[in-house]
Structure 1
Amino acid sequence: MSRLASRTALVTGAASGIGLAVATRFAREGARVVIADRDADAARTAVDRLSAELGEGTAYALTMDISSEPAVEAGYAELAEAGWTPDVVVANAGVQLFGQDAKIADLDLAVWQRTVDVNLTGTMLTVKHAVRAMLASGGGSIILTGSPTGLTGEGNDFTSYSTTKAGIHGLTRTVAAAYAKDGIRVNAVIPGYTETPLVTSISDDPEERAAIVGRIPLGRPGTPADVEGVMVFLASDDAAFATGALFRVDGGMTSL
């Protein structure tokens, strides 16, 4: 379990859910991990847990609002000063405004703007400053978190979320092509229906869950472990020839 030895990885939205699972797996694979999140207490708790399991110096807590460029720039500067400049960046942080996002005729502009600010602009800023850091250090791997709703029309009740995820898929390809010769690889992982505490708390209707799972060819929901394994691959040298790709981790759901 040392595929990421000698690497430093920044994971945004890493205090919970898929982000925390990925950061934990990275640390267990030998990486030093930056737990970046808006929730400072939750980030600190995650760092304490990883430090207790794997030793001091394993993780670093970074409070960062990705929707603010001054905050993102300051975050990367803090890491550089502390000796934690990342060579792997997972742009995972995002929002899905359940009960607010809607079909476009019913969509409030403020909901659209908030989703775009975090999911698309925030991801862009995370990637922008990751690229700047990697240009100075000689390259690295950037991984974005997409969604099947950015590929299909299935998320039509979530106009803002689905549109921003489609934008993330485009951003992945654009940045990958622009910086491949600089040794910077950029890929996206597209998790399907994945059971996290947030998802299960929002979608606790057994019939609704059964209907979703029934559309997954592998016959089960995804887990954070399914996603983290693909991200470890993309962060490692095993993926040295992979860039500009969208890796679907959805049990075959979007293959239908």
Structure 2
Amino acid sequence: MGRLDGKTAFITGAANGIGYAVAARFGAEGARVAVADRDADAAAKAVARIGDRARAVTVDIADETAVAAAFADLAAAGWAPDTVVANAAVQLLGQDAQVADLDVDVWRRTIDVNLTGTFLTVKHAVRTMLKYGGGSIILTGSPTGLSGEGNEFAAYSTSKAGIHGLTRTTAAAYAPNGIRVNTVVPTYTETGLVTTLSDDPEARAAIISRIPLGRPGTPADVEGIMVFLAGDESAFATGGLFAVDGGMTAL
């Protein structure tokens, strides 16, 4: 038996990186997995790798009509999710900057996807879970939203700080309805989101030097805590921030 037998999960940004790793692990643990991504081809390829317990959902999380339709279509197909991982995000490296140098269009694009997109995902996850008996919502945060670690990325850091606040308010509001909401905080994780940093030896070494365990994170490092928060073992956990950051936020 898997730890997530009987669960149905909806995971955004699940075609690649952390989202894909979590989707594949959830499938291996017995869950049905809706692989949500705005890249339809990449989502289809991810589903092919995960297997017949997965299905692709093409959605732009910054578009409320699209998000609402995705949840409605899943419910109509008997796939109303009891687990939602709001993971999709952008980090506009080379464009994001300290606040005095930040272009407003870069700010808006980052906030539209990372914060508004997460809000819309959570909003329609809650609406679905209110109809179907509760569930677990997991948001992907960042150390940049907790400390000065992201001082060069004002838009990204602010978006992640907002996500941490959204977790607390939503958890408090819907605990009586059996809906749990938590945030996982990975460290610098080498995925396609951060190739600008990972391809720069000096920048990469500087970041790793601030991680006490001495290495970057990998998508696989995040799977276990996500499984825990999705499953019944974490039934009393809500409103929390779960750091999987190699000790970065302990400094």
Q: Which consecutive unaligned segments of at least 5 residues does structure 2 have? A: none
Q: How far has the Cα of 1:201 moved from its partner?
A: 5.6
Partner of 1:79: helix, strand, or coil? helix
Q: Distance in 2 between matches of 1:64 and 1:231?
A: 22
Q: Determine the structure 2 residue equivalent to 1:123.
A: 118
* Cα distance in structure 1, aligned partners of 2:152 and 2:210: 18
CA distance in structure 1 between the partners assigned to 2:249 and 2:49 by the alignment: 36
Question: 2-side partners of 1:195 and 1:9: how far apart?
Answer: 24
Deviations 1:104-143 (A, max 9, x none): 1111111111111111110000000000000111110000
1:208 — aligned with what?
203
Distance in 2 separating the partners of 1:183 and 1:29: 22
CA distance in 2, matches of 1:198, 1:235: 24
Structure 1 residues 46-86: Cα deviation after superposition (integer angstroms, max 9, x where no partner): 111111xxxx2x00100001001101011111111111110
Q: How large is the RMSD of aligned CA atoms in angstroms?
A: 1.1
SS in 2 for 1:35: strand
The structural deviation recorded for 1:202 is: 4.1
SS across alignment from 1:154: helix
Of 230, 233, 243, the match for 2:228: 233
Structure-2 change in CA distance of 1:108 and 1:207 (3 Å): closer
- TM-score (normalised: structure 1): 0.95
Deviation, 1:147, is 0.5
Q: Distance in 1 between matches of 2:8 and 2:82?
A: 6
2:132 is aligned with 1:150: no
What SS does the aligned partner of 1:5 have?
A: coil
Structure 2 match to 1:2: 2
Amino acid corresponding to residue 89 of structure 2 in structure 1: G
Amino acid corresponding to residue 22 of structure 1 in structure 2: V
1:220 and 2:220 correspond: no
- Residue 89 of structure 1 corresponds to 84
- Which blocks of at least 5 consecutive residues in structure 1 are unaligned? none
Q: How far off is 1:205 after superposition?
A: 2.4
The two structures have a TM-score, normalised by structure 2, of 0.97
Alignment of 1:59-74 (within 5 A): 59-74=54-69
1:134 maps onto 2:129 in alignment: yes
- How much identity, in percent, do the aligned residues show? 73
2:186–2:244: 8 Å Cα contact kept in structure 1? yes
Question: Which residue in the other structure is 1:168 paired with?
Answer: 163
Distance 2:204 2:145 in 1: 21
2: CA distance between counterparts of 1:207 and 1:156? 17
- Following the alignment from structure 1 to structure 2, what is the Cα–Cα distance between the partners of residues 199 and 139? 34
SS where residue 238 of structure 2 aligns? coil
Q: In 2, Cα distance between the equivalents of 1:167 and 1:197? A: 23
How big is the shift at 1:200?
4.2
Count of aligned residue pairs for this structure pair = 251
